Structures are given as C-alpha cells and as structure tokens.
Structure 1
Amino acid sequence: MRANVVKRLLLALLVAPTLASAAGAALHLDRAPDVQGDKAALQNGARLFVNYCLNCHGASFVRYNRMTELGLTEEQIRDNLMFTADKVGEPMRVAARSTDQKQWFGAAPPDLSLVARARASGDGSGADWLYTYLRSFYRDPQRPTGWNNTIFPNVGMPHALWQLQGEQVLDHESNHLQLATPGELSTTDYDKQVADLVGFLVWAGEPAAGFRRTLGYGVLAFLLVLFAVSYALKKEFWKDVKKN
C-alpha cells in the first residue's frame, strides 16, 4: 500500500512539469522594454499610474517619498502625484474604501505593489505579462464592463487606458486584434506609454533593486581586486619557499 502511494507521488512529480509546460504553451507574451535605467521613463510611469490606476488600485508597499529615488523632489511629488495622501511619507493607497469597491465591482481590485513579481512565470517575466496584458484589451459587448482581454479571458477590469489606445476588436477567425477606433496616441506611442507604466510597476515591486545591483557589481569588483592581490602575495611567498 505504502509502495503504491510512493509510486504515485513520484509519477505526479515527473508529470507535473510536463503538464505545466503544456498548459502555458498557448500563452504568447511580448517582450517588455527594459526602462529601469531611464529615470524619465519611470517618472512618466509614475504619472500614468497615479492618473489611470490609483483610482482603483493601490501600491501600498511604496511610500510617495520613495519616488525621490527616481529623480523627483518631494515638492514635485506633492504637487503632481499626491492625490490620495496628505504627507509625502504615506503609502500609495487607493482613495476608495475597500467596502465601497466590493459593492461597486463585486471584489476589491488588488494592490499592485508586487504585481510584476507575482505575474512572473515560465512564459516570461512579470513585466512581459503586464506589457502584453495592457495592450490586449478589446471590445466585448458580452462582458459587464464592455471589455475583454486575450491573455486574461473574461477579465473583470475595464480598459483604463482605452482613450489613449483606442478601441480594438477581436477577429475570432484569426484570433488577432484589430484597431477599430484610433485613440489619442499612435500604436507606437501607446506602446511606449505602457512600457513606462510597466517599468514603474517593476520598480515599485522592488525599489532597492537598482542599489542591490550596483552593490553587487561593487562587491564583485572588490573580490577580483582581492583575488589579484592574494595571488600576487602567494607568488611572492612561494618564491622564497622554493629558493630555500
């Protein structure tokens, strides 16, 4: 009996990766541009988040004053980005109460502080998922909000950026999206705005990532110098030993 249980567990462990791979094979994600080194892009992403996302979604793990790391002053943050708080040290919480959101939407929209990290999978990074998702909305009169999404079928969220992108429709025969009504931006400009917004969400998930990366390079450089000095000392020491 026990041997059969062990065999089944081993079989499940062997088959699980195959099933997971097969389940995700149909999901195609576009590669998100990496803007982590571009402070102007991250500042623009913060502006987009505050104006289009913070009405429903918070980023409560990030305090407003952390955005000074993006090159903004506290005065700029207060004047242009703080609509849901009184002090610059407060978290980026959503203005609406969760009880009201549950009544309006059926469920409170999730906090987006860690969404880029949470969406990472074998199909691509969390940035790739978000970048594709925000460009994959289309009109669907069957949905309560009037919107659907090709990589998140039957999504409950409406297309918050539709005025910028325009309205897409899904060609069910080819399963491709087509722009039916142009928005305020061209496709190229809209993709750039989405890349900046996604870049900000990636940064929000780990604001210290840039510092840790820089620190890591510094540590590696120190170790290389230490290795060179240690090797030189070793050669000098063994030179005298060999002579004796």
Structure 2
Amino acid sequence: MSPIHRAFLRIALLLGLGCASLSAHAAAEQQGIPLRHAPYRVNDLLALQNGAKLFVNYCLNCHAAEFMRYEKLRSIGLTSGQVEKNLLFSAPRLGDTMKVSMTSAQAQAWFGAAPPDLSVIERALASHRGSGADFLYTYLLTFYRDTSRPTGWNNLVVPSVAMPNPLWPLQGQRAAKFELKQDAADPDLQLKTFVGFEQLTPGSISPRQYDSQIADLVAYMQWMAEPDQLERKRLGVIVLLFLAVFTFITWRLKSEYWKDVK
C-alpha cells in the first residue's frame, strides 16, 4: 500500500463527528440503535499511550486538537524523547498544540467543511442515551460497506455518514444485514431493522483485538477532553474524607459545649 493510499485511508477518521451532535443523536434514535458501553481505561497508562498513537496516526491528519499540547502527553507516562520521536509530526516543538497542516480553504474544497476539532469531542457527544465515550465507541465499531454511498461506507450510529472507515485494514470489510419487521404499534408498517454483520474480508487483527484498539482510542479522547480528571477525582475523595472527619469533630464539639444547656 502506497503512502498516498495510507494517507487517504487516514483522512477521514471521525470526520463528521463534530457535526454528529443533535442531528446525529436524532438519527441514531430513529434507527433505535443502542450505544455500547465503552470500557473505562482512562486510568490505564498503556491504553492511553496506545490511544495517543492511534490518534496521531489516524486522526491528526485532518482533525486538530487545539486545546491539547504535545507536552501534556508526558502526563500519561511518555517521555519528551518518546513524544518527539514517535508522535511529534505536525509541530516543531513540544509546547505546540495538536494542529493540522490542512488549511480551512483546503478542507472546504475537499470535504465541504472543515473537520471538527476533537479536543473535547467526547464531552460534546454526551447525551441522555449515554456518554460521549459510548457514542464514539459504538460509532467506530459500526461501519459497514454500502455501495450506495459515495465513499462506499455507511454507519449504524450516523446513517449516511460522509466518511469511510479508515481502519478497515485492521477490522476488515463488513456488510450490514437488515430485515423488514412489523412495527409493534402499527402492524401495517414495516421497519428496516439491523440484525447483524457479515464479514466480507478479514482484518489484519482479530475482532477482539480491534475492539480493544478502539477502546484505547476512545479512552485517549476521553482523557484528552479533561486531562486532569483523575487528579480531580483523587482530590475530591480527599476533600470528602476531610469533610467527613471535620463533621464528626464538629458534632462532638457541639455535644460537649451544649450538654449543660440541655
């Protein structure tokens, strides 16, 4: 596979996720597709490091993350040397943010709109149906071949998605199987219902390995949306413990001072 071909495959990862807000949620709800629960790996440094590698190699060609600086990757256990050697391709310095070389004019000409920034995409996609991580996890796992689409690909969570699946060499190519079933509320109405996938070509890794790779990628985007979330939770536990001890001391003092009044 040529470098140009590989670059093309990477062009569109998560393209349109920024547009997958209310309209995307509404489309998914109309299809009745439940979101899969994304494994929580934000506290797993190895998963975050692998997710960062996937993000830089498959997402950062088109999607910027302008609220994230490369130097922040040291928070997930990477050294400055490792970041510079393996992840720093689109910026000259560690202190730079994760930008893309593609201009807005180029994006407009090639895609019709600039690909959205992914810095906080995990937070932006959260809804009553599930977390943003659940949305991203399900979205990235439900691409299928559709010859009626310009790109040859479609997606169960975002029907008529405007991007192909750039990770298909890992996952392989799949077709979605649908059946017409009667609507429970209206027997005269038939609904097109998803019933499963058919594997057309094998991927370079097993389905379980692919699911794990996507879980790592989603975990990285979940961490990127709030890099200090683990520290926030740790401090929150400390504060709650302090308040609990202070409340007990205050209660005992109150009992001691007011025992004569009673």
**TM-score higher than 0.5:** yes
Aligned counterpart, 2:204:
184
Segment drifting more, 98-107 vs 73-82: 98-107
1:162 counterpart (138, 147, 168): 168
Distance 1:25 1:103 in 2: 31
Q: Say which SS state the counterpart of residue 168 (structure 1) adopts.
A: strand
Shift of 1:192: 0.4
Contact 2:50 2:216 in 1 (8 A): yes
CA RMSD, 1 decimal? 1.8
Aligned counterpart, 2:5:
none
Distance 1:198 1:183 in 2: 20
2:255 counterpart (211, 220, 235): 235
AA partner of residue 66 (structure 1): K
Shift of 1:235: 2.5
TM-score, normalization: structure 2? 0.80
Contact 1:24 1:123 in 2 (8 A): no
AA partner of residue 233 (structure 2): R
Distance 1:75 1:161 in 2: 28
Distance 2:118 2:161 in 1: 16
1:194 paired to 2:214? yes
Distance 1:158 1:108 in 2: 16
Shift of 1:232: 2.1
Distance 1:120 1:27 in 2: 15
Aligned counterpart, 1:221:
241
Number of residue pairs the alignment of both structures matches: 222
Aligned counterpart, 1:129:
135
C-alpha distance 48-23 of structure 1, shift in aligned 2 (>3 A): closer
Aligned counterpart, 1:149:
155
C-alpha distance 192-219 of structure 1, shift in aligned 2 (>3 A): same
Between structure 1 and structure 2, the one with the greater Rg is 1
Aligned counterpart, 2:59:
53
Contact 2:33 2:156 in 1 (8 A): no
Identity %: 51
Q: Say which SS state the counterpart of residue 242 (structure 2) adopts.
A: helix
2:77 counterpart (48, 53, 71): 71
Unaligned runs of 5+ in 1: 1-19
Shift of 1:110: 1.0
TM-score, normalization: structure 1? 0.86
Contact 1:27 1:123 in 2 (8 A): no
Distance 1:133 1:23 in 2: 13
AA partner of residue 159 (structure 2): P
C-alpha distance 188-210 of structure 1, shift in aligned 2 (>3 A): same
Shift of 1:25: 7.8
AA partner of residue 69 (structure 1): S
Shift of 1:157: 1.4
AA partner of residue 225 (structure 2): G
Instruction: Give the 5 Å matches for 1:20-35.
Output: 23=29, 26-35=32-41
Aligned counterpart, 1:138:
144
Structure with the largest fraction of helix: 1
Question: Using CA pairs below 8 Å that are at least 6 residues apart, which structure has the higher relative contact order?
Answer: 2
Aligned counterpart, 2:225:
205
Distance 1:46 1:133 in 2: 19
